[in-house]
Structure 1
Amino acid sequence: MYSSITGRIASAIIAFGVLSAPAFAEELRYAHVGSEGDIQTRYATEAAAGISEATGGDITVQVFPASQLGGVAEMVDGVRLGSISMGHHDFASLARIVPDVAVFNAPFIYRDAEQALAATDPNSSPALQEINEKLIAEGGVRIIGRIYRGARHISSNFEVKSPADLQGKPFRAVPLDLWVSMVKGFGATPTPVEVAELPTALMTGLVVGQENPLTMIAANKLYEVQSHVAMTGHMHSVLAVFINEAVWQGISEDNRAKITKVLDDKAKESLSWAQESETALVEELKANGMTVVTEAEGLDIEAFRKPVLEQIRTDFPSFKPYIEQIAAVN
């Protein structure tokens, strides 16, 4: 009987240990969909090295870029389940957990790049801190950093100066509700396409245009299948860096602070990378045959701003208080 009781106690201890053990190993699996040459890929690579150095090798990070562990939905699900430790993508990729997190990707809501970075700082942004608590409670996912990729612009295989030029045409939307809404505001027909399939979709005419930062347009050689870039700057592209909450809690407080600092430093560097590269990227795209359309060439940004914001207000009325909080950030 004694051995039976002892065996049950031992089994309970083992079971409790399994259930309560942190869902992380010393090596974290970090997934994203960015391709070689994109700012987000540089960020992940350098952040991984920085985390290893800052923690004295206590925490190492293996990065899986270019959709190696699946598309956006698979990546988010993997982080929720813990099979992937951490990842990054547009804030709106987490909207399946907390719909209002998509507000941080909303078009035309930031004054400039610096404000976009400040308003998405998980250490100081009231709006993000409120939404982060919901992500933790409802999805077991925590935002711990962000990446600035640059302003997003429209590319197409014809000249675009106003929404009238896109009216009724099939246009790539990131497969997230916010992008579908925005593309409707553009006047186009939203056609969801994963980033890995985008060059083929443009080549075959499934879609006639898309929108992304210049770094992505160049890195993915979209100039091979697109002839024009309209410099709308409709979004400041900020990506959320997020981690499985059990993984995060399994890391010591000291190492969490070190990781947070690495990610914050890299976020500020990403802003510099994006700002420094934009002029060179414009010249690179021109050298590869693209026509760049600015306000000087007749691009009407206000013609985009009004219908896009009206569409967002209609489709996402709950964004209003968060947009006000974002606007108040200096």
Structure 2
Amino acid sequence: MTLTRRSFIAATSAATGLIATPAILRAQGKLALRMGHPHPESDSWQDVALWMNETLNEQSNGEITLQVFPNGLLGNDPTMINSVRAGSLDIALTGNPFFTSLAPELNVLDLPFLFRDRDHVARVLDGEIGDRLRRNFDGTGLHALAVWETGWRHVTNSRRPVVEPADIKGLKIRTTPNPAHIEAFRLLGAVPTPMAFTELFTALEMGAVDGQENPTTLILNSRFYEAQKYLSLTQHAFTASPLVTNADKLAAMGEDQRNLLIATAQEGAKRQRAMNAEREQSSLEALKAEGMEAVEAPDREAFRAIVAGPVQATFAAEFGSDLIDQINAA
């Protein structure tokens, strides 16, 4: 039995009994933390979260443990965020789009065709711009320990290949609740349908939506190929993923515990991003082996021409253009 499997069994059996208990347990100086996320066990989020547990346990001489609940075991994306804000869950990890209702300026990270490449993403997330954006969590009850990633988003559907924008017209596409994602697909003539990630597979399987947009790694790990025939590498947006904790509980920790938790989360971000990047090509090949038809070179410039300018203009009308300008110049 692998470590991942053991952790999953332990998490599943313990979930019901632990939800109602205090999230941070202190006994003889020990700190027991719980973390939830919506992705499958096979995803890099789970792999690195388990690494965090091992590292925290080792570096603290057993004083800190991190119990990880994947697959939305502790609720969907908004539920876990609200649980952390309320103090009933210690740590949650999910995509940036689910935080923008609390901190609207974060919506800038989800603007279509904003990022040029992964180096550009890193310069933004790990520099002064990222520091500014993380300050948006002030006053929400949340503190961003680090920023992991979901990755480059691509379109899948069950009806037809998507080569150019006209191919998306009329398709009912699941999106995140992020305004930038919704507006972009409306501009393309699709029917954007926001829903939590934990509800997506069933919606695809039942035909409630025609398609969705996520990275190849997540499409593979979530087995979306079982309900989707066509994959188009549109790379229309990049999704960052804040790893958040309850701000008051972080402040109440001992200084050594707090510093170790933050340092481990930030090292975890580097590991998870690198792991995701390495798995992108192999996951694409695996999806093709599962029978998906992949359009590897869609007309991205045609997509960009329709959505990038108008969606950025909508953001700038509310927040100004300086943040977009800073990101473009990074």
TM-score of Structure 1 vs Structure 2, range by shorter chain: 0.7 to 0.9
Larger displacement relative to structure 2 (98-107 or 215-224): 98-107
What do residues 172-225 of structure 1 show as CA deviations (whole Å, max 9, x unaligned)? 112333322232233311112222221221122211111111111111111111
Cα distance between partner residues in 1 of 2:60 and 2:184: 41
What does residue 85 of structure 2 align with?
80
The structure 1 segments of at least 4 consecutive aligned residues displaced by more than 4 Å after TM superposition are none
Amino acid at match of 1:261: A
> Is the radius of gyration larger for structure 1 or structure 2?
1
- Compute the displacement of 1:23 (Å): 7.7
Q: Is the Cα–Cα contact under 8 Å of residues 36 and 91 in structure 2 kept in the other structure?
A: yes
The one-letter amino acid paired with 1:148 is: E
2:38: which partner in 1? Answer: 33
Q: CA deviation at 1:81?
A: 0.9
Cα gap change, 1:126 to 1:23, in 2 (>3 Å): farther
- In 1, Cα distance between the equivalents of 2:24 and 2:124? 29
The one-letter code sitting in structure 1 at the alignment partner of 2:200 is L
The SS at the match of 1:116 is helix
TM-score (norm. length: structure 2): 0.85
- How many residue pairs were aligned? 301
* Match of residue 199, structure 2, among 197, 200, 209: 197
What SS does the aligned partner of 2:61 have? coil
Give the aligned partner of residue 107 of structure 2: 102
Q: Which amino acid aligns with 1:257?
A: N
CA distance in 2, matches of 1:23, 1:321: 39
Q: Does 1:53 align with 2:39?
A: no
Measured in 2, the distance between the counterparts of 1:319 and 1:222 equals 38
- Greater mean alpha carbon deviation, residues 47-56 or residues 24-33: 47-56
Question: Which has the higher mean CA deviation after the structures are superposed, 57-66 or 251-260?
Answer: 251-260
Structure 1 stretches of 5 or more lacking a match?
Answer: 1-21
Q: Write the distance in 1 (CA, Å) between the matches of 2:320 and 2:117.
A: 19
SS of 1:316's partner is helix
1-side partners of 2:121 and 2:291: how far apart?
31
- Which whole-Å CA distance do the structure 1 matches of 2:295 and 2:136 have between them? 41
- Aligned-pair distance for 1:149? 3.4
Does structure 2 retain, via aligned residues, the 8 Å contact 1:193–1:201? no
**Alignment partner, residue 224 of structure 1:** 226
- Which whole-Å deviations, capped at 9, do the CAs of 1:215-252 have from their partners, x for residues lacking one? 11111111111111111111223211111101110222
Q: Is the 8 A contact 1:90 1:105 kept in 2?
A: no
- After superposition, the Cα gap between the structure-2 partners of 1:109 and 1:287, relative to the gap in structure 1 and judged at 3 Å, is same
Correspondence list, 1:309-320, <5 A: 309-317=308-316, 318=319, 320=321
8 Å contact kept, 2:204–2:210: yes
SS at match of 1:57: coil
Q: CA deviation at 1:314?
A: 4.0
Question: Superposition RMSD on alpha carbons, in Å?
Answer: 2.0
TM-score by length of 1: 0.85
Distance 2:312 2:277 in 1: 29
